[in-house]
Amino acid sequence: MTYTVSSLDKLLTGKSTGSEPGAVWLVGAGPGDVDLLTVKALRLIESAEVVVYDRLVSPEILALAPPEALCIDVGKTPGFHGMKQAQINQLLVDLAATGRQVVRLKGGDPFIFGRGGEEMSWVQQAGIACHIVPGITAAIGCAAATGIPLTHRDMAQSVRFITGHGRDGKPQLDWQSLQDKRQTLVFYMGLTWCQALSQQLIGHGRDADTPVAIVERGTRRDQRVIITRLQQLAECVARQQPQSPSLLIVGEVVKMYRQPPEATQCSFFEMTDAVC
């Protein structure tokens, strides 16, 4: 059963509080492909009493929950938060206080730009047990799905996972530290600020011709890959209109992208110099 915010009052009074509270499990659902779930995540989802899930959790993964499980959508879309983060935090506490075992299902990994640390602290401060189940984060999943190695002995000796969305919306980054061409940059939530990202990176020393991969819906059957250059990134995004969730991979390693043999099951589009 799927519940929305409007039906939560009944839900919270639907089970008497026992002598002991339940627990919260922060579970990484990975980037979307159901086969990339960890075994532990799969077991928890298949036996869940309550699933509180994000927008990035794919329908195929959500379908693994038992038919009788209470599934609560707290997903956020860019510019619209049906439930604020503080409300989500309290919801987890309230559900566990009724004696339920709560699976908080998050896209990717709970501790990589997933607000997992905030939710864990809130639950623990309420005196409720909180368990963490890691998941494959989007950067790792998208790298595997596109054949782009995030590190490579001849191209990149380090990799940075970066959020393109600061506390006030705008990216708040140490741009000077991102200039090294031997470092792969992976931007989460970077589409909105792609023009600022490219301008700042070029302005602080990154080569304007640095290749960039935009990976839309990475690891899913409808994955799309767009290849461009740093100086053409904003124009490319405006032209091709990739949608969230999309990841930006910036660095020389993007040159290793190859459309995989099984791409007939996906929708790939590779930008060429002529188009960009």
Residue 94 is a catalytic residue: no
The answer to whether the beta carbons of residues 135 and 108 sit under 8 Å apart is: yes
Question: Going by C-beta distance under 8 Å and a sequence separation of 6 or more, which residues neighbour residue 273?
Answer: none
Residue 76 is a catalytic residue: yes
Name the active-site residue from 33, 54, 106, 109. 54
DSSP 130-183: EEEE----HHHHHHHHHT--S-BTTTBSEEEEEES-BTTBS----GGGG--TTE
Name the active-site residue from 15, 40, 73, 76. 76
- Residues annotated as catalytic (active site), given as ranges: 54, 76
